[in-house]
Chain A
Amino acid sequence: MTKSQTDTVTAPRDAKSRVELDAATVRFCGDSGDGMQLAGTQLTNTSALVGNDVATFPDFPAEIRAPRGTKAGVSGFQIHFASRKIFTPGDQVDAVVAMNPAALVTNIRDLVPGGILIVDNDSFSKRDLQVAGCETNPLDDGTVDGYQVFRVDITRLTRLAVKELGLGTKEADRCRNFFAMGLVFWLYDRPLEPTLRFIVEKFGRRPEIAEANRRALVAGRNYGETTEAFAHRYAVDRARLTPGLYRNITGNQAMAWGLMAASKLSGCPLFYSTYPITPASDILHELSRRKNFGVRTFQAEDEIAAVTAAIGAAFAGAMGVTGTSGPGLSLKSEGLALAVMTELPLLLINVQRAGPSTGMPTKTEQADLNQALFGRHGECPLPVLAASTPADCFDVAREAWRLAVRYMTPVIVLSDGYLANGSEPWRIPRMDCLERFPVEHPRGPDDGHPFQPYARDAHLARPWALPGTPGLMHRLGGLEKQDITGAVSYDAENHQHMVDLRARKVAGIASDVPPQHVEGPAQGRVLVLGWGGTYGALATAVRLLWERGESVAHAHLRYLNPLPANLGEILSRYERVLVPELNCGQLCRLARAEFLIDAVGLNKATGRPFAVHEVVEAIERELAR
């Protein structure tokens, strides 16, 4: 999008007039110690509370405290809020708040021409510039030409606001983000109350800090109101979302809650077994707080122990779940194969990040698809599902566990850093409206026959008999088993049979899931085939082209293995198939191999999500062919 989302701006003449926008995008950026994530989160929650649709993009360095004031240490949080349905945090931003020179120079390129730039004028000293590696002051050297620049003495004004509280300079300066928030809240006509409540909750135990933050927040708001600097302020009306009760939710939180919901709906106690890894750790943090729901979390000694402890818990009847990111998925692959061989239900949540190896831990990517599908020794098929938006993580977690227990199989769920940390409004479901899928374990043989641990039901699943049940004692393991009896077998024909059976079992899931849905025309020029966290960018791009009357449709896959039964037929109805992915073409190659179509990829591996315009341009290229 060329002009960001501010397409309905009408320039007012009178000072401080209110400008109605249908959307706005704001980015807070500063040092990773400046509280920018907090500022962004507060603006997000407040915007959601006033009824906007929101989409966010937190972007921060892997280093907890990179040298202060350097470009490496810049942390940003972008939020897009709108009075209509939106799908992405926006390609460009309408306003940037830059707390130091490093933040300014690394973020200014994303500001729309004529956009608002608010800087902390007190953070551009010679020394600050030097630390940021700026030879000249970007405020004076032409860098900020063409923008509406507001040089605000944020540090000085914050210190003044909290002066009476007797805090040290360091503590006073920690309130700068609240001053910046107050100013932005005024600029976009947001209420302070949610943040005031947050301050009490978060800092209540240190009243002087709570009061300082409150004062800084109010001072920022008052500054906007009083100063002559700002010609106008903006308003973004409520979005017309589907009626219901909403909250803002990140992908990781939705995933954690989806797991808890799945546990409740299936009746299997949740055992979340994991090793801390960015960007998956917040799932652990959330679940470890939920012990009163019967949730047990286990912080294992390594990734391998995490998956194998989950397998043990599954053997014993729990909902065994392990969470990780790329390198951890590699380490867990041997364990996954054991779960395939023992045919135990298990979830592996892989929150993808830019790889290979340590790669860029806080940046997003979709490059683990091949590993999820094929990254195991032997013929080792298992279902793979992907979430498409932060809130979708809730539904995918539930669906994955439904399949795991019905088919007695491990399931991989793919999320990514963009979904995990990004947020959107979530229409809160009522638990009694969600489908229950209670798991029944065999109680014991009463028909005079010995127990058969590898007997098959209609789904080809074997019985999930639990230790502690009299009469059902059996031994599982990694060695090949004879079908039905579960005895160790080296028989050639049996191995072929079991390899085929395990494949057939997983393939059969295609008939148990909804057919692939297509947004847009049922046939036409171009089909955009996507999966996972790119949904927002692809959906936005496709809608822009609809407005121009282009023949473009969008199919976004949740089920990556098995692929939806009707997918081949869908692909055949379009002249061109474009597969945008944040990798070098993994789904694209799969689509070409499975369906013998001339699909083309749009590929990117920068650690950043697709910008909408990148997708639009790629679709345009396909339309022009």
Chain B
Amino acid sequence: MATDTSTTPIPERWTPNDYASGQDVRWCPGCGDYAILAQMKKVLSSLQIPREKLVFISGIGCSSRFPYYLNTYGMHSIHGRAPAIATGVKAVRPDLSVWVITGDGDGLSIGGNHLIHCIRRNLDINIVLFNNRIYGLTKGQYSPTSPLGKVTKSSPMGAIDNPLHILSVAVGCEASFVARTVDVNTQHLGMVLGRAAEHRGTSFVEVYQNCIVFNDGAFEFATDRETRTEATLELEHGKPLVFGKNRDKGIRLNGLEPEVVSLGDGITEKDLLVHDEKAAEPSLAYLLTRMHRPDFPEPIGVFRAVDRPRYDERLNEQVRAAIETQGPGDLDDLFSQGDTWRVEP
């Protein structure tokens, strides 16, 4: 059902389940999307955002079915265009909490242009990009984030496209909020979505999401209990970049390049790069987005969270200022302004 069960009395406090639309969820069993949906409902409940104030806009792809499963306003739109549709919603209704749900194909391939412009404008919306590094809905072609050499149905001899590192792109667009998290790391996922919701400006969140059918295990390094402490690095504002099972490794700056160092032997946490998500310049955030396996652990968490003017606010502020300085417009006055003449009967 696309309709809601709105006739039930409004509870005093919305539980995660109150945000469920009741429509059967039709992702493949074991899909990472389930975890994201569950965390989203939890976050919305913990923030107690009224359901009618929420608008979820998506494009096309597995991830883009998301809005159907939430008892909010929503639009499952056309391929790649969700950021532009969300821009229209937010521009005229800044009071709404607007979310864009997209994937690596939808957001980075066909919708890449809208994504970068949405981010640079810094509308106060949240963009969650489910990155599974594959085209799932069309059954297994390589995507813009598939690694070089990836063998898929459309690249039997291996993908020859260089992959796009979306967080580098987001930082390049001077995104005011950039984060990465992992579908099954539920606590971290919830934390990041919560931070995104609270951030004022475009929040861009990349979720490493497992496609169990066409790209299973693509992010095993980040989910496997054995490897994830070595293969990922959890960012914390104001803290040095430490990782490893025994938290005995860190990232040090060598000139302009990061390097992995082992703590001990004269190297202490004081020598390490300290994370600053509020740095005005995006250079540090960019450097972090460039850290990839196998040379580096892949950072997860909030890369950047800065305050920057928001497009929707500025747009509506211009309207307000124009009314204040020029007075509310009167069409009869406008039409008869300037050179006019009267034809007498």
Contacts and interface: CB of A to CB of B under 8 A. Distances in A.
Interface of A: 45, 48-51, 194, 238, 240-248, 257, 260-261, 264, 269, 271, 273, 290-296, 298, 300-302, 304-306, 308-318, 320, 334-335, 338, 342, 428-431, 444-445, 448-453, 467-479, 481, 485-488
B2 A485 contact: yes
A238 B68 CA distance: 65
A310 B77 CA distance: 13
Residue among B51, B93, B325, B345 with max Cβ neighbours from chain A (10 Å): B93
B18 to A, nearest CB: 11
B92 A468 contact: no
25 contacts: A49-B341, A51-B343, A246-B342, A264-B331, A292-B319, A298-B315, A301-B84, A301-B117, A304-B81, A305-B113, A308-B81, A309-B84, A311-B77, A311-B88, A312-B90, A316-B93, A342-B75, A450-B3, A450-B6, A471-B6, A475-B68, A476-B74, A477-B67, A478-B76, A481-B2
B33 to A, nearest CB: 16
A257 B335 contact: yes
A312 B88 contact: yes
B138 interface: no
Say what secondary structure dominates the interface of chain B.
Answer: mixed
B318 interface: yes
Contacts of B345: 243
B328 interface: yes
B50 interface: yes
B326 interface: yes
Contacts of B5: 450
A298 B87 contact: yes
A176 to B, nearest CB: 24
Given A312-B88, A472-B52, A475-B21, A296 B315 contact: yes
Nearest to A48: B341
5 tightest A-B contacts by CB? A312-B88, A477-B76, A293-B329, A309-B88, A291-B322
Contact of B1 (A246, A315, A485): A485
Contact of A257 (B2, B51, B334): B334
B10 A311 contact: no
A477 B85 CA distance: 12
Nearest to B329: A293
Contacts of A312: 57, 75, 84-91
B304 to A, nearest CB: 22
B216 interface: no
A454 to B, nearest CB: 8
B116 to A, nearest CB: 8
Given A244-B343, A450-B7, A473-B73, A428 B52 contact: no
B338 A247 contact: yes
A301 B111 CA distance: 11
A478 B319 contact: no
B4 interface: yes
A474 B74 CA distance: 6
B88 A320 contact: yes
Contacts of B306: none
B340 interface: yes
A245 B2 contact: no
Contacts of B328: 292-294
A311 B10 CA distance: 30
B53 interface: yes
B279 interface: no
A49 B338 CA distance: 11
A301 B319 CA distance: 21
Contacts of B72: 473
Nearest to B26: A488
B175 interface: no
A242 B343 CA distance: 7
Contacts of B75: 312, 315, 342, 475-477
Interface string B304-345: 000000000001101101110111110110111011111111
Contacts of B339: 45, 48-49, 194, 247-248
A467 B87 contact: no
B315 to A, nearest CB: 6
Interface in B1-37: 1-7, 10, 21, 23
Nearest to B340: A247
B158 to A, nearest CB: 32
B59 to A, nearest CB: 10
A308 B78 contact: yes
Given A315-B75, A473-B73, A290 B329 contact: yes
A543 to B, nearest CB: 21
Nearest to B64: A477
Contact of B4 (A241, A295, A451): A451
B29 to A, nearest CB: 20
Given A311-B85, A317-B93, A475 B2 contact: yes
A318 B92 contact: yes
B71 interface: yes
Contact of B52 (A293, A473, A478): A473
